[in-house]
Amino acid sequence: MRVLNDKVDLEGLIADAVEEGRQVQVVRGGATKAATLEAFSQELNFPEWFGMNLDALADCLDTLARESEGEWEIVWDDAAALRRSDPHAATGIESVLAELDETHKSVHVTIIDR
């Protein structure tokens, strides 16, 4: 898992990942835990039963990782907004993403802290 600052070129980052053979999905975070979880749900097309909590996030991401073919990169953009408003929630989501990155070698996680 890598954490990048606000100076990153998102389009360039995506182009590099695609060139390296990864499917890329960008999740634009929100200023609240609920908004950020909703962004993950919408962007990654989580099932209706998604519970809007960290355990459900971990379950859905794990399922997607196991079912994905090839390399996959999740980019959580605008993570700083949640970090400012709810540091505990931001740390929780980061922990879920770090575990996903460690457990599934075909999954790459990038957090953009802006």
List C-alpha distances in Å: 18 to 25, 30, 84, 106: 11, 25, 31, 14
Q: What pLDDT, on the 0 to 100 scale, is given for residue 92? A: 98
**Residue 27, number of CB atoms within 10 A of its CB:** 22
Q: What are phi and psi of 50, to 5 degrees?
A: -50, 125
pLDDT band for position 32 (50/70/90)?
Answer: very high
**CATH (residue range 2-113):** 3.30.370.10
**Between the CA of residue 48 and those of 5, 9, 24, 43, 107, what are the distances in Å?**
33, 33, 22, 13, 23
Q: What is the pLDDT of residues 34-75, one digit of tens each?
A: 999 999 999 999 999 999 999 999 999 999 999 989 999 999
Query: What is the pLDDT, as a whole number, of residue 81?
Result: 94
**Helix/strand/coil for 72:** strand
Average pLDDT over residues 75-87: 96
Q: What is the mean pLDDT of residues 90-114?
A: 97
Say if CB 76 and CB 15 are below 8 A apart: no
Q: pTM value?
A: 0.94
- Per-residue confidence band for 22, with pLDDT thresholds at 50, 70 and 90: very high
CA distances to 16, 31, 64, 75, 77 from 86, rounded to whole Å, are: 31, 8, 26, 20, 16
